[in-house]
Amino acid sequence: MPPRIHKGIFQLVEEANQIVEEISITEALALHGREDVQFVDIRDIRELDREGRVPGAYHCPRGMLEFWVDPESPYAKTAFQQDVTFVLFCAAGMRSALAGRTLVEMGLPSVKHIQGGFAAWRENSGEINKG
């Protein structure tokens, strides 16, 4: 018999959305391009190559997020060592909710994620660079 989990992905995402601010696509489009905002794309590189990229978004694979954010990590990236609002997104908004929760728990002061993710961005005519 397979192991039974006690908390599923939908509950985890719901809990994450109580910790990290989930913003609408309208709010995200208004924030895009501001100097005090850094968009962070946590999708897999294959998704970026297939679906396109949001101009100016920093790509950080979900699996490296904690390592790239922590300034003490040998993998720390300067993109995360700045005083800006971080706006995370994934394909549909679930991974970015979980990633956002992690960043809030790590201590970043201003973290948001886009409800509906890249799909909402595309559906609302957000600018996209192909491939």
Per-residue pLDDT tens, the chain, 131 aa: give them. 888 989 999 999 999 999 999 999 999 999 999 999 999 999 999 999 999 999 999 999 999 999 999 999 999 999 999 999 999 999 999 999 999 999 999 999 999 999 999 999 999 999 999 86
pLDDT at 1: 80
- Supply the pLDDT for residue 131: 67
Cα-to-chain-centroid distance, residue 77: 16
pTM above 0.85, yes or no: yes
Specify the DSSP class assigned to residue 64.
Answer: G
> Which of 104, 98, 23 is closest to 69 using CA atoms?
104
State pLDDT tens for residues 52-73. 999 999 999 999 999 999 999 9
The full set of domains in the chain, from first to last, is 17-123 (3.40.250.10)
Backbone phi and psi for residue 78, each to the nearest 5 degrees, phi listed first: -65, -25
Interval 26-35: pLDDT, tens = 999 999 999 9
Give the closest residue to 121 by CA, choosing from 47, 64, 11, 16. Answer: 47
